[in-house]
Amino acid sequence: MSRSPIPAYLSLCQLPSGGVGRVCKLEGDMEFCQRVREMGIGESTFVTKVSGTGTILCQVNGTRIALSHGAAKNILVEQLAGR
């Protein structure tokens, strides 16, 4: 597979497993955004995606968080490193 240039924003679903991203934007209604922030995924936090295509498993500040696909889609990150 050829390396395509990394787009500015990826959703957490698109981030490859093992990749690290910095949260840039939370989409969705206010309640959703607030809930995600309360779980520790606020703007500019670093998120490591552990695994998952359907339900996503990620790691934030040492805490593992499972997100269903619909929720992860609304979390936009900037990819920093990863395999």
Partner 1 sequence: MALPPHISAGPAGGSSRTPVYALVGNPNCGKSTLFNALTGLKQKVGNYPGVTVEKKVGTAYSQHGQPMTVIDLPGAYSLAARSPDEAVTRDVLLGRRSDTAQPDRILCIVDATNLERNLYLVHQILDLGRPVILVVNMMDLAAQAGLSLRLSQLENQLGIPVIPCEAANGRGIIELRLAMSRPDLPLSRHAWAVPAPIAPAIAEIQASLISHDHKGPLIARAEALLLLTDQDSVRVAGSTPLHPRTAEILRTWEKRWNDEGTDWAGSLVNSRYDAIGRLAAEVVLQSGTSGPTTSDKIDAVATHPLWGWLVLGAVMLLLFLSIFTLAEYPMNWIDAHVAALANAVKGAMAPGDLRDLITDGAIAGVGGVIIFLPQILILFFFIGLLESTGYMARAAFIMDRLMSRVGLNGKSFIPLLSSYACAIPGIMATRTIEDSKDRLVTILVAPLMSCSARLPVYLLMIAALVPGDRVPLLTKVGIMLLMYALGTVGAFGFAWLFKRTLLKGAPPLMIMELPPYRLPRLRDVALHMIERAWIFLRRAGTVILGISIVLWFLTAYPKAPADATPAQQLAQSFAGRAGHLLEPAIKPLGFDWQIGIGLITSFAAREVFVSTMGVVFNTESSDKDTTPLRKAMLAARWPDGRMLFTPLTCITLMIFYVFAMQCMSTIAVVKRETNGWKWPIFQTAYMTGTAWILSLVVYQAGRGLGF
CB 14 within 8 A of CB 47: no
Sequence-ordered strand ranges (E) for 1-83: 10-11, 20-26, 46-51, 56-60, 63-67, 75-81
Token pair of 62 as six digits: 């040492």
Binding-site size for partner 1 (CB under 8 A) equals 27
Write the binding mask 54 to 83 for partner 1: x where contact by CB under 8 A, - elsewhere.
xx-x---xxxxxxxxxxx------------
Pick from 11, 35, 46, 78 the residue near partner 1 by CB under 8 A. Answer: 35
Asked if 42 interacts with partner 1 (CB under 8 A), we say yes
Contacts to partner 1 by CB under 8 A = 30-32, 34-40, 42, 50-51, 54-55, 57, 61-71
